[in-house]
Amino acid sequence: MQYFSVAEAITMPGLRLVLSAGVPGPWGEAAKAMLHARNVPFAAVAQEPMGANEALCEWTGHRNAPTAVYDDEPPLTSWFDILMLAERLGSGPSLLPTASADRVLCLGLIMEICGQDGFGWNRRLNMLAGVWGAQDVADAAPHERAYIRQYGLSPQAVARAPDRVADILKMLAARLHAQKAAGSDYLVGERLTAADLYWACFSQLVRPLPKEVNPIPDYVWDFYSVMPDVVAAALDPILFAHRDRIYAHHIGLPLDY
């Protein structure tokens, strides 16, 4: 993927999407998938994972990826805001159901996948605990301490995270089994929604796609592949059969990041 620097991106018109360069971060990959599905072009702007990203912070007020900046509008960082931007700017079928009950279900599933205290949030705690568990956070650089506070890393949160991850995986698997019994290959209704894209991208956190279609750095592969036993026990094959269909039919392979 071609990345622009912050200095280059500031003066560019249209949509700029800040992404973690060289890493398939699930929040960023999901943002890309939604924009692709809605036919929205964007310029990728490089962010250094866990880096100081001082120029990015000065421009947007955020060190994180993804951050979306459209023309002169305020920067957007939340999954919901980026989804709604894709809906507003895009064309083709909406990624949200029309019926209110299904829309609530779709947004609720996404919240459990990628929102605060959701699957991605707690899976990240699993991984960060391996980095910071044996080191006093006070020894971290200031920008690293900012990330740690933002991500809610604490002994209590780390201890709770595996069961929370497993519970969400079981819920998603049960949902897919029920949908399959009803004749659908999707999480909500009978067509693609943002919930399907989010799960496909976030599934990497427990079972990365094969390296021949996913040129993932070895250290990230190790982070994503190692997990507590209770999480490994919750990996129902239907979760990854769904993921593979979504990538094959809606997102496309190989990954480009």
Pair of tokens at residue 37: 């599905």
User: The whole model's pTM is what?
Assistant: 0.93
Rounded Cα gap, residues 119 and 240, in angstroms: 15
Rounded Cα gap, residues 40 and 31, in angstroms: 11
Pair of tokens at residue 161: 């995270």
DSSP letter (8 states) at residue 215: -
Rounded Cα gap, residues 31 and 64, in angstroms: 13
pLDDT in single tens digits along all 257 residues of the chain? 999 999 999 999 999 999 999 999 999 999 999 999 999 999 999 999 888 999 999 999 999 999 999 999 999 999 999 999 999 999 999 999 999 999 999 999 999 999 999 999 999 998 887 665 545 555 666 766 666 777 777 888 899 999 999 999 999 999 999 999 999 999 999 999 999 999 999 999 999 999 999 999 898 898 898 999 999 999 999 999 999 999 999 999 999 99
Q: Where does CATH 1.20.1050 sit in the chain?
A: 100-251
Q: Looking at beta carbons, which pairs linking 148-153 to residues 24 or more positions away fall under 8 Å? A: 150/64, 151/121, 151/124, 151/125, 152/116, 152/121, 152/125, 153/125, 153/128, 153/129
Q: Where does CATH 3.40.30.10 sit in the chain?
A: 3-89
Count Cβ atoms below 10 Å from residue 168 Cβ, excluding itself: 23
Yes or no: domain 100-251 corresponds to CATH 1.20.1050: yes
pLDDT of residue 150: 73
Structural contact between residues 20 and 65, judged by C-beta atoms closer than 8 angstroms: yes
Q: In the CATH hierarchy, which fold is given to the domain comprising 3-89?
A: Glutaredoxin (3.40.30)
Rounded Cα gap, residues 16 and 32, in angstroms: 11
